[in-house]
A and B are shown apart, each in its own frame.
Chain A
Amino acid sequence: MTTVHNFGVSPISCHSWSGDRKSLALSQNSNEVTLFSSSGSDWKQTGLLDQHDLRVTSIDWAPKTNRIVTCSSDRNAYVWVLDDNNVWKKTLVLLRINRAATCVRWSPEENKFAVGSGAKIISICYHEKEFDGWVSKHIKKPMQSTVTSIDWHPNNILIAAGSTDFKVRVFSSFVKDVEARPSPTEWGSKMPMGYLMKEFSNSSAGGGWVHAVSFSPDGSKLAWAGHDSSISVADAANDMLVMKLKTNLLPMCSLTWIRPNTIAAAGHNCVPYTFIVESDAVKLGSAMEEDKKKESSGKTSAMDLFKNKDKLGQNELETKLNFTHQKQIAEIRIVGGQKGDVDTFSTCSLDGKIVVWNLKTLAGQMKGLKI
């Protein structure tokens, strides 16, 4: 079943849940981030983070340490901490970028966060005690264009970044001051800061911005969605085999792993789809919602029928899509469970709604849905 949360008519560009899933931070395509808390079935606004000057591009709420990081087109990012009076206070972050920040994600241990930007740089930020703020180290080479999406490997060191130069790259973000040297993984053993572990091209035909990247729950596979309507999975454990599926659908904007071998992706199609990852190929699963065909009301009078035909050229004006979301989905976030073992996930869309999808009840309802 899906639960629909309506937040007005403004598009919701990004959202993030608190650790206890009772609070939600979202931005409605503006320079403000609003915090809501659920009391029963209602949402009450409990906070407003309004320090940014330009549009907020990404929000991430760290579940364990309860800190929110926001980044914006104004080339800044802020870390917000709840103080004793229950007010969110901002902490300074020195990103040192000269273009917009596009996406931000906390690392699994929440001692670092990575910010992708239009300056072709990823800023890895960590807390500096003497400065009492967040300082950054840059990953520059060999990115040639804006970084659109970032995902962390479970080992807290490796980062995957998708970019508008049609490539997906895996970097190491090892910060000596903050953590111990990591042990080798399937992606490589040498991991100095900023080292490019692997680079993948989205398409041999040379195109398609990468919209979203996601490591599998164990970190051995990397999935990404490209603007050429494709979903690709690279398997590091299997000799870096890249499996690409060119779909018949519109491009996806966001994806995550709901089972060890199943991906949920959503985007311009306004409905999430599942993709099954087999040992050598990616296959399309199914849409998570059936096309709800409206039955035309049989009561339209003959006069209305001809009036419409004259005015509109067709019998009825059908402007509603047959899905819950009416506009493209911007982001998918896990609500219940974790990557690889998801019970519920949420999608935010440009129609102002956040819809929470419950996989167990959906699997029961839709017979074609294999999860």
Chain B
Amino acid sequence: MAKNTSSNVFRTLDVDQFNEDNYKEENDTDPAALGPNDSLITSLLAANKPVEALTHLLSGATLGIKDQAARTASLTLAMRVLMAIKVSQIDDAVAQLDNESRDVLMKFIYRGFEVPNEGSSAHLLVWHEKVFTVAGVGSIVRVLTDKKRV
């Protein structure tokens, strides 16, 4: 077969480094607030008050944290809270939230879809439907456009 005799070392170069035109992300410093009070939420869950746990979780959630471990931890906590709330309680829980919290909730729901456990997706789908009826397509658009992920 024909042998490639020319150098293709250039393929290992990152051309974007040399292009001054690139859009540089604003390097925001990590958000100062460390996120919701984990112990408070776990204690509320243990005390069988998952709806309150949800309100605390959502109002305290910080977007744009760069530390992956922290993000995974907050996702695991969020999933625990969402699974703890029974289907019949979801409607009330969603109605109690304000618009900002609903947007954050939708972001958690989609992140939950990304890492499915047994039975989690089905429950998340019910959550998704309930939040969608209240918050509309706009909340889903914001999951996609907001650069600061939950």
Contacts and interface: CB of A to CB of B under 8 A. Distances in A.
Given A144-B24, A165-B23, A206-B64, A249 B146 contact: no
Interface centre among B23, B137, B139, B145 (most CB of A within 10 A): B145
A249 B136 CA distance: 6
A144 B27 CA distance: 14
B99 A229 contact: no
B147 A229 contact: no
Contact of A228 (B23, B64, B146): B146
Contacts of A219: none
Contact of A206 (B99, B137, B147): B147
B136 A208 contact: no
B64 A246 contact: no
Contacts of A120: 21
Contacts of A144: 23-24
Contacts of B99: 246
Interface in B24-62: 24, 26, 28
A249 B146 CA distance: 16
The range of chain B's interface size is 20 to 34
The range of chain A's interface size is 20 to 34
Contacts of B23: 144-145, 165
Contacts of B142: 205, 207-208, 228-229, 246
A203 interface: yes
Contacts of A246: 99, 103, 138, 142
B136 A205 contact: no
A248 B139 contact: yes
B141 interface: yes
A259 interface: no
A251 interface: yes
A276 to B, nearest CB: 17
B138 A247 contact: yes
A228 B141 contact: yes
A208 B138 contact: no
Interface string A228-270: 1110000000000000001111110000000000000000000
Contacts of A248: 135-139
Closest 5 CB pairs of A and B: A248-B136, A229-B138, A205-B146, A206-B147, A207-B145
6 contacts: A205-B64, A205-B142, A206-B28, A228-B145, A230-B138, A248-B137
